[in-house]
Every structure is written in C-alpha cells, then in structure tokens.
Amino acid sequence: MNFLKKAFTLILVFLIIPVNTANTDDLPDGNESEIYKFGKKSDHVLVLTSSKTMTGKDTNMIKQLRKVISFLERQTPEYTVIVAFTANDCSDLPSDVPVKLNSGTKLLISEISQYLNAAVLVFEDTDKNTEIISGANGMVSPDWLLSDLYSQLSDDEKKSAYHSFRIYSQKLNLITPESLLAEYLKKSIPAIKLYSNADVFELCKSLIENYTNGYPENRDKNYFAFPFNKIYIISEHILIYVAIAIIFFSLFMLFIFIFSKSLKFKNIDLLKAFLISVAFFLINTVSLFISRKLIFFFLTIRFGSLKIISLFPQITVLIYVLVSGALILLSNYFLIQNLKKLKINISVLESIQPIISLINIFLFSFFEFLLYPIFFMAYIFSIIYAKTKNIITKWCFLTFMTFPFIILFILIKKDWLTIALLMFNFNYFFLAFLLLPVSIGIAINLNLKPKSKRIKNIKVKNKYAPVFILSFFIFAGILTLLFIKPYSKKRPLPVYIRQTINDVNVENKIISDFKRETNTYSVTGSNSNKTSNEYLTVKTDIENYLERTIAQIIITSSLNIETLEITIENKNGFAVFESDKFIYNKSGNIAKFITKPKPEIPIELNFSSEENATLNITVRAWTYDNPLNTKIKKNKNKFFNETFLLELKRNLVLKHQTGT
C-alpha cells in the first residue's frame, strides 16, 4: 500500500503537471524574495529594488525602501509601482563552485516582463561616496533615466556621483561587473543603479511622481553626459552627425594630401616612406610581443603563476610600460639611425603620419563607436604636428598624440588590476598600429637638422648613450620582477584550503597565486579516516511505472551547506525527462541540478527517467564549516589570509531497487 500511495502521488505530479517536475526553483529556501505592488493597473511600471544579504537581513537601503512601502500604502500612485527585495542573488563562493546566482532578480524580471514599459532603480549600500552606475557588461542605461536620477541628488552627492568619461568604462566593460544591473539590461529593461549611504526616501517619492505619465521613448545606446547642476546630454543622433562631418573632413584632408602641389616628391619617396612605416609597425609588434613574453616568463619563474599579477597589478603595469616602452624606443632608435642612409624624404613621412592617425579612427571605432572623438583629437594633433616646422612645437604635439592612452588611464586609474588585464590581453597588432604615428613622429624629430652646433656635437659624442639608458630600464624592470615581494603585513597573501571528503578518504589542496611560496605549506588537523557519508546523507528511491522510472532523492546534512549540485547520468539514454530547469549536456545523458545560495536542508528532488534506467548519481555540497579543524601549519611567512572551503562528495548508483 505504501508503494501504491507513493506511485499514485508521483503519477499526479508527472501527468497532471508535466512541466517543471525537476525544477530547482521549487527547492525550499529560507531566504525568499519580497515583491510588493501598488497603484492602478497600467502599461508602465516603476520598480524600486534592493538585494538582500546572504543571511536575509535587511540592509540600510531595504529599511529605507520599507518607508517607501508605508508611504505607498497611504497614498496610492496613479500607475503601477513595484518595491522588491530580491533574495539569493549573491554568493561569496569561489567562481569554480557551481551556485545559482541572481535568482531573486530573475524572478523579478519575469514579473516585470508582463508590462509594456518598465524602468528599474537598483539601490545598494556603500560606505563610500554616492555613485551612479549607468551601465554594465557593455550595455548602458537610457540617458533620460540617468538625467532624472542625477537631478534628484543633493549638491554634495552630485560631486562624486557621475563623471563624463564613465560611459567609456561601461561601454568597454572596464569596470567591476554589475551582474544584477546587467540582468535587466540584457532583457532591454531600462535600469540604473545607485550606491548611497544617504536617505533615498524623498528621491523615490520624486521619481514616482515624475513617471506618472510614462517614460520617454528614446533608448540611446551611445551618448555623452556632462554633469553640472544637472546632466547635459549629447544624444546619439548628434554624435552620428558629428561622425559624418568628421568623415567628410578626413576625406577632404586626404584629398588635399593627394593633389597638393606643395608636395614635391617622386613615387620612390612614397614607396620608401610606406616601407619605413611598415618596418616601424613590425618592430613595434615584435617589441610588444617580446616584452610581454619576457614579463610572463620571469613572473612564472619567480612566482609559479601569472595570477600573481592580482596581488600587485600597479607595479606590474608600470614594469610592463617601462620594459615595452624602452624596447620599442631601442628598436626604433636603430631604425632611425639608418633613415639618412636610405635618403628618406621627411616631408613624405610628415604627410603619411596623419593618414595613419585617420585609419586609427575607423579601426578603433569599429570596436566601440564612442571611441571616435578621442581618436579624432589625436588625428587633429597629428595634422598640426605635420604642418608645424618648429622642433619644440613638434615635440609638444607629438606628446598630445598620446591622448588616447592618457584618457584610458584616467578612466580606469582606480582599478589597476583592470589596467593590467587590459594591457596583457590587448592585441599586439592593434596596439602596434596605435603607436605607429608616435614612432614616425619620433623618427621625424630626430632626423630634423638641428640649428644649434652644441646639439650636433652632443648627438655625435653620445651616439650610443640612448642604447645604454634604454637597456638599463629594461634590466631594471626585469630585476624588479625577480626580487619584488608580493605580500606584506598590509597586503597579506591570500591562501585557500580546499578540502574534499568523498566516499573513501579526505583530500587537501592548498591554492594560492604564489605557488613557489605555498608549495612548501602543509595542513594539520585532518583525519583521513572520515568519509562523506558522516556529514552528507543521501536517501534514494526508484520505481518503474508504465514506460518510465520514477525516482526520488532526499539530501540532509549536519553542516551549513552553502550550495549543492546534483548530477544524474544515464549512460544508455536520457538522464531526466519532462523538465527544462536543469542543465543538460549535449547528448542529454547528463543532467545537473544546482541550488541557490544557502539552500534549506533537507532537499527533496523528484524526477522521471527511462524505464529500467541505471542512474549514476553524484552529490556535491560545499560548506565553510571545518569539522576536522584543518589549518595551515606554521611557517616563516606570517603574512597570509587563510580561507577554508569543504566539499562533500557522494557517488551512488540507482537501479530498479531502493538504495541508500
């Protein structure tokens, strides 16, 4: 009778509600999202939301939004307003540990999708200055949403809330990923995020009143915003018109170059100048390649891993700039010394340089449209450089041509790790072509005939001085890598103990970016006699019914589980039927169920599979609990932060009989 009762219940689940029978969203959680709706039913909705902590406690922003809820209960808005507190959005687990993130936000998005138009304001606490995040993952918020939010801030908050160049950081994805904001923008929902420690109650009231009649229709993806007392927007349409004007101006300047009567040179001069430009390009490419490989080589020898860059990115970037810059200048110097022997017409090089700067505009604007104003400024400087004859003025405008690099560093100077990753992953050829106008400019300046006899004498007497100076910088950079200490009392070395308790034994692994240091570390306090079934209990039940197998898995644990993954494999067919909420492999014989952060235990999972199927079940659970009191043994390095993570792993086989 017990079997019939169980079978009848499962039949109802699979036949009456055939979809989502194995849905991890239905797994119980103690930390649930809260969604409150107010106002009259309308086509547009305003969403005010903040994410709960991992423990489910109210943040300062959530407490303030609860005041907004009280206000909306007393005064009903003329349209729909949603106040939501999303749960299960974040986790502090390492990136290689599977966990279902942003669950609460995705639930809220499914609710928002019922409306024709929506706007979302995401609030989050901060202990720093107020900051507006108007983009994520290469996507940006509409300009009207940015302008409206900025206008509601106090004068003190406006000083730090937004700066004009931030659009580049967001479009080029050069800032810390904002995964919650990105979820909305991916669905084409206008959204913006505000970090603040101030009271936002009045701000929310004003925005609710502001959007009573709906939202503007424009959804510009490219714009410039200049913050003062209010934000002034240069729209996408204006930027397109300016881009068209720049194209015509550039073509006009090219026309002048081709048909100018003042340029008197033979075809052989043009060919020589072209070949010299190609030579500079190849030299720059090879120099960048060698300098990057040199730094990678010595980092690997010294530390055992390139991930060590994350511990001192600022120093690594400066060394890379020093070594690559010195190597490029050194190689360019030898080529420049031979220009006179080749009898190069300098005026031809001066005419070619702006053309290369013009190509840079189109080359880099292809990757991001908003880059064209920066490269156009560099192009203007290159034209002025080519027209001026004074050597001092030429050096000044040659310096101004590095404007794109200066802007890039201004944008991301607060995040040296981002700069390091960008520079070490940037394409050699594009970077070499970007540097080409500067290389040609240096060649032109050094080959101009100086008027002062003193300068001539210095040049002859110190012919190889630049070689020794630049070589010194290269060796200084390499020696710094070999002797630098990546950790200190103020900057301790992160060390991770990853312990795995399986069905047989206990395995310990020490993970660190400084492998040469941590290879000598060992752990203490582990007990190899323990197995995973002492901490993780898995009960299973499997029965055949009609042409299918009905199975049940119940998981309990005495530890605080952070996340859990269940893998079901059927080597002879499909692993799981009638569900679309789990992860399949390509052939469908493996299905994975991943829980939200901090799932409520016990977890019960019901699913169906092929008749008479033999299912291989793997259950993996992660916890910060340390039941074996495992620690790193004392060693000479006292400056490290120790983080422990335990993985419990169970392997079972489900056949036509009940197993445990």
At 640-652, the pLDDT tens digits run: 778 889 999 999 8
Print the domain residue range for 535. 493-654
Measured in degrees and rounded to the nearest 5, phi and psi for residue 454 equal -60, -40
Q: Is residue 449 part of a domain?
A: yes
Closest C-alpha to 484, from 303, 300, 292: 303
At 95-131, the pLDDT tens digits run: 788 888 888 888 899 989 889 999 999 999 888 888 8
At 41-89, the pLDDT tens digits run: 888 999 999 988 877 678 888 989 999 999 999 998 999 999 999 888 8
Residues 501, 647 contacting (CB under 8 angstroms): yes
Out of 452, 483, 514, a domain closes at 483
Q: Is residue 249 part of a domain?
A: no
Percent of the chain exceeding pLDDT 70 equals: 80
Out of 234, 251, 286, a domain closes at 234
**Does residue 230 share a domain with residue 312?**
no
The pLDDT score that the predictor gives to residue 414 is: 56
Q: What is the pTM of this model?
A: 0.74
**Does residue 497 share a domain with residue 476?**
no
**Does residue 290 share a domain with residue 218?**
no
Q: How many CB atoms lie within 10 A of CB 264?
A: 9
Residues 282, 332 contacting (CB under 8 angstroms): no
Measured in degrees and rounded to the nearest 5, phi and psi for residue 602 equal -80, 160
At 377-412, the pLDDT tens digits run: 888 888 888 888 777 888 888 888 887 667 666 665
Q: How many domains are contained in the chain?
A: 3
At 310-353, the pLDDT tens digits run: 777 778 878 888 888 888 888 877 777 776 677 777 777 777 88
**Does residue 131 share a domain with residue 194?**
yes
**Does residue 530 share a domain with residue 409?**
no
Residue-wise over 167-185: b if at least 16 C-beta within 10 A, else e? bbbbbbebbeebebbbbbb
Q: The domain spanning residue 187 has which CATH number?
A: 3.40.630
Q: Is residue 248 part of a domain?
A: no
As to burial, measured by CB atoms within 10 angstroms (0-12 exposed, 13-18 middle, 19+ buried), residue 493 is buried
**Does residue 418 share a domain with residue 299?**
yes
**Does residue 526 share a domain with residue 453?**
no
The pLDDT score that the predictor gives to residue 587 is: 66
Q: Is residue 43 part of a domain?
A: yes
**Does residue 52 share a domain with residue 169?**
yes
**Does residue 299 share a domain with residue 399?**
yes
**Does residue 396 share a domain with residue 469?**
yes
**Does residue 460 share a domain with residue 507?**
no
Q: Is residue 11 part of a domain?
A: no
Q: Is residue 241 part of a domain?
A: no
Under the banding of pLDDT at 50, 70 and 90, the label for residue 16 is: very low
Strands 135-136 and 493-501: unpaired
**What is the rounded end-to-end Cα distance, in angstroms, of the chain?**
21
Strand residues in 473-547 grouped as ranges (E): 493-501, 506-511, 523-524, 536-545
Residue 636 has pLDDT above 70, yes or no: no
Out of 420, 453, 483, a domain closes at 483
Q: Is residue 641 part of a domain?
A: yes
At 248-288, the pLDDT tens digits run: 887 777 777 666 655 555 667 778 778 888 888 898 888 88
Q: Measured between alpha carbons, how far is 609 from 277 in angstroms, rounded to an integer?
A: 66
At 166-223, the pLDDT tens digits run: 666 666 666 666 778 888 988 889 999 998 888 888 899 999 999 988 888 877 777 7
E strand or H helix that includes residue 113: none
Average pLDDT, the chain: 78
**Does residue 530 share a domain with residue 479?**
no
Q: Is residue 8 part of a domain?
A: no
